[in-house]
Structure 1
Amino acid sequence: MSYNVTVDAEKCVGCSECVDVCPVEVYELQNEKSVPVNEEECLGCESCIEVCEHDAITVEEA
């Protein structure tokens, strides 16, 4: 199963919590914002959503 991972740049504050918690390194910080660079690796565990205090991340089944 694959997932669409979206980060709302307006809401993202670049705290890197999602980068740290993701078990498969989907995210990386670019220009002080989180960017899903390995979206195809997403397991759909939603750990990133749980740690994001700004509701900037969406993970949906593709």
Structure 2
Amino acid sequence: MFKPEVDAEKCIGCGECVDICPTEVYELIDEKSVPVNADECIGCESCIEVCEQEAITVEEI
């Protein structure tokens, strides 16, 4: 099981993580990425790779 988190201070709302996530974990809310379906995270870390702001972490729990 994985726990994706977005640092709202760093997130610029580019939507790259929303577009690349294969399990639709993220949605843009108020111009920030939010892991609304965190339970669906498979830990592939694609979101981390595309986030130029380094705003995303994925922790194994």
TM-score (norm 1): 0.97
Q: Determine whether 1:20 maps to 2:15.
A: no
* Cα deviation code 1:7-37 (max 9, x no counterpart): 0000000000000000000000000000000
Percent of counterpart pairs with the same letter? 72
Distance in 2 between the 1:23 and 1:6 partners? 16
Q: After the TM superposition, which parts of structure 1 deviate over 2 Å for at least 4 consecutive aligned residues?
A: none
TM-score (norm 2): 0.99
Unpaired stretches in structure 2, ≥5 consecutive residues:
none
Paired residues for 1:27-46 under 5 Å: 27-46=26-45
RMSD: 0.3
Distance in 2 between the 1:45 and 1:3 partners? 10
Question: How many residues get paired?
Answer: 61
Unpaired stretches in structure 1, ≥5 consecutive residues:
none
Q: Which residue of 2 aligns with 1:49?
A: 48
